[in-house]
């Protein structure tokens, strides 16, 4: 089987290049021909290790990356398939993974995915049955099953991370989730889009401090004024183009020929910078018409890569009030800003809400508490349909709905999210950490409210327990428990904490190093 990408990634002397292609909304015609021509030229050029195929970017419908990727794979060009959790439940995701395995395409970029966009007749229903960490585990378990059936060629799954976050809690949540993705089996990482060299360096240093040996690829987008404006206005969740950068790009493109040259030069210089910082390769996006622009970027990059330190000041586009884990110019971790260790002040209501739930959890849901045997006996006595209904109606539902907006999922996960509900408070129902779409600490889908993981970080940091967001992987919600008593399910060992230990144990061997985060 063709495995150029994997071989290049494992070669310590190879700085690899991947190219992102975007299938259009048609099943044939000029758009498809253009993508195929770019892929053919990439293969002929010889410097591209793989092309990646996006999966309904922005949550909007497009041609399946699987079918177009298969055609490109047959040309001899290795392919990375973007695999999102937005549009299918776990049954559909497993089926799609088996389909990709049969087609020979086992390089996967496992993503939670953007929120659902508009499709036939209106907005599509967001699924998000599982998240990107769960998807990593699913692919790993499928690989073992395929090996038992005689296929030793496992899935080679990577993940994404966004170091380009503005708030401290957002930054910590991204790096904490990266720890869980690595523990779940990710083999490589690709960054989100940004133009801040200090943030690119921060990711490498955080990975080094936490003992993450994943090869990292830096995303480099060939910016035009239209793309830059869209990213600046939040049109691409997680991508960061600041106002000064947008102004510069618009000035460069007053003459289109000058603008095109400046875009190529910026991409080549950023490639040189990230190589100098220690990245394993680059992931080029924004190529929609012809491959020749990629060739020019790579030619220029090869000519200037040893001058990377000269270009560092050109990628100084911080977000207003943006947080950095390391002081500017600091070399040692103890010179860091206390990332993950700082005592965050909580308002009275937030603190009271957290303390109330934490105290109740420690008393009634802690197997080591002196009352645990009594609570366990009470749960056994109440575990009949009529008594469970009475428990839900009279005692369990009222406080949970009032304080948590509980949807009665029957498989409570608040203890993993700073005693906030991942079902009612997160539109993507994430249980293992933040998605990449938050902006300034605000939710990607509902910008008028803070990201639940920003709040979770504040609560846990206030309590000196921020590292709880790093350790172990939380199994997915068990839908078979929907509309039942989460209290009884916990004590009767039916919920994810007992019934899904095989999934949780998948993360034990690869967890991040424990200690001060930076």
- Among residues 94, 92, 99, the alpha carbon closest in space to that of 67 is found at 99
Q: How far apart are CA 99 and CA 373, in angstroms?
A: 48
Domain-embedded: residue 370 = yes
Domain co-membership, 300 together with 431: no
Question: Within this chain, do residues 141 and 248 fall inside the same structural domain, yes or no?
Answer: yes
The residue-averaged pLDDT of 107-123 equals 92
Domain membership of residue 320 (yes or no) is no
In Å, how far are 17, 223, 239, 249 from 263, measured between CA atoms? Answer: 18, 6, 17, 8
Provide the terminal-to-terminal Cα distance of the chain, rounded to the nearest Å: 40
| 446-493 tens-digit pLDDT | 999 999 999 999 999 999 899 889 888 899 999 999 999 999 999 999
The residue-averaged pLDDT of 132-136 equals: 96
**pTM (2 d.p.):** 0.94
Provide the domain limits for residue 367. Answer: 348-510
User: Rounded to 5 degrees, what are φ and ψ at 56?
Assistant: 50, 60
Residue where a domain stops, chosen among 273, 295, 315: 315
Comparing 343 with 8, the larger pLDDT belongs to: 8
Q: What SS3 state is found at 68?
A: helix
Q: What CATH number has the domain bearing residue 279?
A: 3.20.20.220
Helix axes 292-304, 256-277, angle to 10 degrees: 50
Three-state secondary structure call for residue 63: coil
Of 267, 295, 315, the residue at which a domain comes to its end is 315
Please indicate, yes or no, if residue 516 is contained in any of the structural domains: no
Q: Which residue has the higher pLDDT, 509 or 171?
A: 171
270 and 356 housed in the same domain: no
Beta-strand pair 118-119/122-123: antiparallel
Q: Which residue has the tokens 């041609």?
A: 63
- Are residues 423 and 310 part of one domain? no
Residue 420 in contact with residue 443, Cβ under 8 Å? Answer: no
Looking at the fold, whether 176 and 80 belong to one and the same domain comes out as yes
| Reduced DSSP (H G I as helix, E B as strand, rest coil) percent helix, strand, coil of the chain, to 5 | 50, 10, 40
Residue position matching structure tokens 């049955």: 129
pLDDT-derived band at 508 (thresholds 50, 70, 90) equals: low
Q: Which tokens is 377 given?
A: 């006996």
Q: Coil, strand or helix: which one is 123? A: strand
Q: pLDDT band at residue 27, thresholds of 50, 70 and 90?
A: confident
Average pLDDT over residues 2-23: 92
Average pLDDT estimate for 11-20: 96
* Residue (of 155, 231, 236, 225) closest to 188 by Cα position: 155
pLDDT tens by residue, 356-400 = 999 999 999 999 999 999 999 999 999 999 999 999 999 999 999
**Residues 161, 163: Cα–Cα separation, whole Å:** 6
- Which of 155, 285, 172 has its CA nearest to residue 221? 285
Tell how far CA 498 is from the center of its chain. 26
Percent of the chain with pLDDT over 90: 82
Instruction: Tell which residue, 245, 237, 180, has the closest CA to residue 214.
Output: 180
Number of structural domains, the chain?
Answer: 2
Region 260-264 average pLDDT: 96
Mean pLDDT of 211-230: 95
What is the C-alpha to C-alpha distance for residues 477 and 479, in angstroms, rounded to an integer?
A: 6
* Residue 101 domain-assigned (yes or no): yes
What is the secondary structure of 212-240 as a DSSP string?
----EEEEEE---HHHHHHHHTTSSTT--
């Amino acid at each position: 089987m063709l495995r150029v990408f994997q071989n290049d990634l494992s070669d310590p002397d190879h700085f690899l290049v991947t190219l992102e292609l975007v299938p259009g909304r048609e099943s044939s015609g000029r758009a498809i021909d253009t993508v195929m021509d770019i892929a053919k030229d990439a293969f002929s050029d010889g410097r591209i290790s793989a092309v990646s195929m996006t999966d309904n970017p922005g949550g909007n419908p497009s041609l399946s990356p699987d079918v177009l990727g298969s055609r490109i794979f047959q040309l001899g060009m290795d392919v990375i398939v973007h695999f999102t959790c937005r549009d299918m439940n776990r049954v559909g995701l497993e089926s799609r993974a088996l389909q990709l395995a049969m087609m020979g395409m086992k390089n996967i970029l496992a993503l939670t995915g953007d929120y659902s966009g508009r499709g036939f007749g209106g907005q599509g229903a967001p699924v998000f049955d599982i998240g990107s960490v769960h998807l990593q585990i699913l692919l790993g378990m499928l690989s073992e099953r395929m090996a038992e059936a005689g296929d030793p060629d496992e899935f080679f799954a990577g993940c994404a991370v966004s170091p380009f976050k503005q708030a401290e809690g957002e930054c910590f949540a991204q790096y904490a989730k990266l720890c869980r993705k690595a523990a779940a089996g990710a083999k490589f990482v690709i960054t989100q889009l940004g133009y801040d060299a200090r943030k690119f360096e921060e990711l490498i240093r955080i990975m080094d401090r936490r003992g993450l040996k994943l090869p990292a690829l830096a995303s480099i987008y060939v910016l035009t004024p239209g793309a830059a404006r869209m990213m600046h206005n939040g049109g691409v969740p997680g991508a960061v183009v600041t106002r000064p950068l947008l102004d510069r790009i618009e000035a460069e493109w007053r003459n289109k020929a000058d603008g095109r040259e400046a875009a190529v030069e910026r991409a080549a210089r950023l490639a040189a910078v990230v190589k100098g910082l220690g990245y394993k390769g680059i992931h080029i996006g924004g190529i929609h018409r012809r491959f020749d622009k990629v060739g020019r970027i790579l030619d220029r990059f090869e000519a200037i890569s040893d001058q990377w330190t000269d270009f560092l000041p050109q990628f100084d586009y911080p977000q207003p009030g943006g947080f950095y884990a390391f002081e500017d110019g600091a070399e040692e971790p103890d010179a860091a800003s206390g990332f993950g260790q700082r005592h965050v002040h909580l308002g009275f209501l937030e603190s009271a809400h957290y303390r109330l739930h934490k105290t109740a959890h420690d008393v009634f849901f802690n197997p080591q508490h002196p009352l645990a045997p009594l609570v366990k006996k009470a749960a056994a006595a109440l575990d009949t349909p009529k008594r469970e209904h009475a428990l839900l109606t009279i005692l369990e539902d009222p406080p949970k709905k009032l304080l948590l907006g509980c949807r009665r999922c029957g498989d409570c996960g608040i203890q993993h999210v700073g005693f906030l509900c991942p079902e009612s408070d997160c539109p993507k129902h994430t249980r293992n950490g933040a998605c990449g779409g938050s902006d300034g600490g605000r939710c990607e889908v509902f910008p008028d409210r803070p990201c639940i993981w920003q709040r979770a970080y504040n609560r846990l940091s206030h309590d000196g327990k921020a590292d709880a967001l790093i350790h172990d992987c939380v199994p997915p919600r068990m839908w078979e428990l929907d509309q039942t008593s989460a209290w009884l399910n916990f004590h009767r060992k039916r919920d994810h904490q007992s019934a899904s230990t095989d999934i949780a144990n998948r993360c034990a061997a690869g967890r991040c190093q424990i200690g001060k985060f930076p």
